[in-house]
Structure 1
Amino acid sequence: MAAPSAGAVTSPPLGVYVGPGKTAVVNDFQTWLGRSPVAATDYVDPSENTQWNQYAMTYWGDWKRAEAGRRFVLGLPLLPKGGNFADGLSGRYDRQFQDLADMMIENGLGDSVVRLGYEGNNRIIGPWQGTDDPAAYRAMFRRVVTLMRARAGAAFQFDYNMAVGAAGKVTSFETLYPGDAYVDIVGLNIYDVWWQHPGATPAERWNHTLTTRMGVNDFKAFAAAHDKPVSYPEWGLYRKGDSYAGGGDSPYFIDRMAELVRDARYQAYFNLDWGGGTLDEFPEGKARYKLRFGG
C-alpha cells in the first residue's frame, strides 16, 4: 500500500452519520473537520409514524437548503417493520413508499441518494434481508424503485448497497442485484473487523477485507463489470473486545480507507456507536481522519 500522505487528500463528496435527524451535529462535525460541504446520511422506515417521517424530511430539507452543494443520503429498508416479501410484492406497502417519496420531494430532497434495501446480505439487518430468498429481494427492489421514480419531481439515485462478506444464499454481489436499469450506484459498507480473529494485525484485517468473498476486490470487479460508480456509504473503526474482533484505534485503517475512497461517488463515516464506538473513542484514528479528510 502507498504510504500516508503528509496532509489531506482530495476525496470524493464526504458524509457522516451522527444519529436520526441530527442536523446540528452534522454541522458541528463539518466545523470540526474544516471542510464544506459535508453530506448527511440518515435512516427512516417507510411505516414509521407518519409524523416522525414528516419531521425528519423537514429537518433535512431545511439543512440541505442552508448551504449550496449539500447532499442527503437515505438508508431505506426494502420492507417496513414486520413486513414480508409476499405482502410487499402484492402491493400492500406501495402507498408507504410513494408517500415517503412525495415527502422527500416536497422538502427539496427529491434528488437524494437512496440506499434501498441496504445490507441485504446481512442476515440480521431486518425483514428485507435477502439471504433466504434472493429472487424476492430482487423483485421488491425493482418494485420500490419503479414506485419512487414515478412520483412527480423525482430525481432519486438508487444505491445497491451491500456489506462485506457472503451469507446464506448470497454468494456474490450478483445474487441480489436487481439489474442495471434499477441501480445508479453500487455501494459497500466496511468496518475494521475480522470476525473472531482478535489477534489479527491491522494489515491482516485489511487484507481480509480486500480478499474475502464479497470483499473489496470482488466489489470493484463487480462495479466495473456493470459500469457503475461506487460508494462507501458506511465505514468506520471498531473497538476491540467482542466477536467482531475490531482493530480499535487504528490509523492504518483510516489510511487504507482514504486511499480506497478516492474514486467513489460519495463516502460516509458512521459516527454513531452501534457497538463499535465513535471517533472520540479513538484519538489516533480521529487525528488521522482529520488529516486525511479535513479541509
Structure 2
Amino acid sequence: MQPSWTQANFAGWPGRLVISVPPFPENSGHTLTACAAGAYDSYWRTFGQTLNTTGRQNSIIRIAWEANGNWYQWSGSNPSAYVGCWRHIADAINATADPDPMLDWTINAHYSQNPASHNPLDLYPGDNWVDIIGIDAYDHYPPSRTLAEFNRQANDIGGITWLYNFARAHNKLFGI
C-alpha cells in the first residue's frame, strides 16, 4: 500500500514500472472470498493513491498472477471468488489512481492445475477490468526440442499462441 522499495529506488526513472501484487499478504489468514466481498478495498484504494503520490500511475499492475497454478494462496480453485477479488482490486485501484494504470491478468503457461476445468479462461476477470492479458512462459518446462513440439504447445490450451489469440479477440495488449 505504501511506496515500495521499487517505487522509491526508481523515483526519478522515466520508464514504466511493472509491479506484481498479490491480492493479500500470504500466510495472513486473508482469503479470496473475503477479497471478493470487498473486505480489502480500502487497502487497494490506498495503493491507487500511492501510485498518484509516487507519480507511477502509468505502471503496469500484475494482479494475482498465475492463479491457474496451485502454488499461491490466491490460486483459482474457486473461480468466482478469484474473479470477484480481481474485479474489486481493479475497481479500487481505478477509483483512486489518476490516470488509471494498466492492469495485467497473467496466467502460467501450459497445464492449469486450477480451476477444476483446467481452462485458465474460467479465471478471466472480464474485458472491463483487464487491459493486458499475459502469460508467464518458462523455457525449461515443458521442453520444446523441435519446432513441431513448440507449435503444439503454443497452440494447446494454456499456450502462448492460444492466449495471444484470446487477447487479440478481446482487443487487449499481450504480455509475455
Q: Give the TM-score normalised by the residue count of structure 2.
A: 0.85
Give distance in 1, aligned partners of 2:152 and 2:21. 28
Q: Give the paired residue count.
A: 172
* Percent of paired sites with the same residue: 23
Give distance in 2, aligned partners of 1:191 and 1:184. 23
Q: Indicate whether 1:224 and 2:172 are aligned.
A: no
Q: Indicate whether 1:129 and 2:75 are aligned.
A: yes
AA at the equivalent of 1:194:
Y
* Offset of residue 208 of structure 1: 4.8
Q: Could you tell me whether the CA contact under 8 Å between 1:94 and 1:147 is conserved in 2?
A: yes
Give distance in 2, aligned partners of 1:90 and 1:231. 29
Give distance in 1, aligned partners of 2:156 and 2:69. 15
Cα distance change of structure 1 residues 144 and 231 upon mapping to structure 2, 3 Å threshold: same
Cα distance change of structure 1 residues 170 and 227 upon mapping to structure 2, 3 Å threshold: farther
Give distance in 2, aligned partners of 1:54 and 1:224. 33
Greater Rg by CA: 1
Deviations 1:206-248 (Å, cap 9, x if unpaired)? 335313321123112211221212111xxxxxxxxxxxxxxxx
Cα distance change of structure 1 residues 225 and 171 upon mapping to structure 2, 3 Å threshold: farther
Q: Indicate whether 1:113 and 2:60 are aligned.
A: yes
Deviations 1:39-70 (Å, cap 9, x if unpaired)? xxxxxxx5xxx5xx444322223233xxxxx1
Q: Indicate whether 1:98 and 2:45 are aligned.
A: yes
Deviations 1:174-202 (Å, cap 9, x if unpaired)? 2111111101111111111234x6xx625
- Unpaired runs of at least 5, structure 1: 1-45, 65-69, 233-295
AA at the equivalent of 1:153:
D
Q: Indicate whether 1:139 and 2:93 are aligned.
A: no
AA at the equivalent of 2:6:
A
**Helix, strand or coil: the match of 1:182?**
coil
**Helix, strand or coil: the match of 1:230?**
strand
**Helix, strand or coil: the match of 1:191?**
coil
Q: Give the TM-score normalised by the residue count of structure 1.
A: 0.53
* Offset of residue 86 of structure 1: 2.3
